[in-house]
Amino acid sequence: MAKYTETLAEYLDGGGALPSSSFALIDGFEDLFKEMYCGSEIGFETEALFAIKLDAKAKIVMPSYAAKIAAVVAQLTGIADNPIKWRYETREYGKQHSSSKTDGSNTDLPIDATTAKPSSLSNLNGSADTDAHTDKLDFQEGLSVDERLRIIDALNNKAFVLVDACLDEFRPLFMGVY
């Protein structure tokens, strides 16, 4: 470290402040900022100039990233809270005809000789008609559990990437190591 430089940790120990109102837009961002840049050297001649530049950068950057992260969180909440939906469909058909292989006729003997007709006659017809036929079908709508878990994992990764990108926006305020 150079002789006349100051780290963020020294700046904060000396009474310097972070733009808490802007950093509060993202939960836990102020602590992450301190942890990320505590050993980094302030890239301006005075603490006052650093404070002004830090506050300006926070006012520009934080609302945009907070909105992006809020959108990802809303998607996560929507996927996690929305259960799998079932859709039911009932289909109705007209008459249904069914037949069996028992069609035929039966004649009982003896025959009455005076009339030349059998004493009893029966006809077995195996077909039947019903008035209406209905089917009830169940369909699953939405995402399967596996698809939900994959999307939630992808969105969680996206939220972490957004927080990391937001932290990187402040890198020009600190001295680089060459």
Name the residue ranges covered by the structural domains of the chain: 1-84+157-178, 87-141
pLDDT band at 94 (very low <50, low <70, confident <90, very high): low
Q: For residue 107, which of 116, 96, 99 has the smallest C-alpha distance?
A: 116
Spatial separation of the C-alpha atoms in residues 25 and 61, rounded to whole Å: 11
6/16 Cα distance (integer angstroms):
11
For residues 86-97, give the mean pLDDT: 64
Compute CA 170 distance to the chain's CA centroid, rounded to the nearest angstrom: 31
The tens digit of pLDDT for each residue in 138-171 reads: 666 666 667 777 777 887 778 888 899 999 999 9
Two tokens, residue 22: 């802007």
User: Pairing relation of β-strands 117-124 and 104-112?
Assistant: antiparallel
Q: What are the residues whose beta carbons fall under 8 Å from the beta carbon of 84, sequence distance 6 or more?
A: 140, 141, 142, 143, 144, 145
Lookup result for tokens 């002004």: 52
Q: pTM of this prediction?
A: 0.60
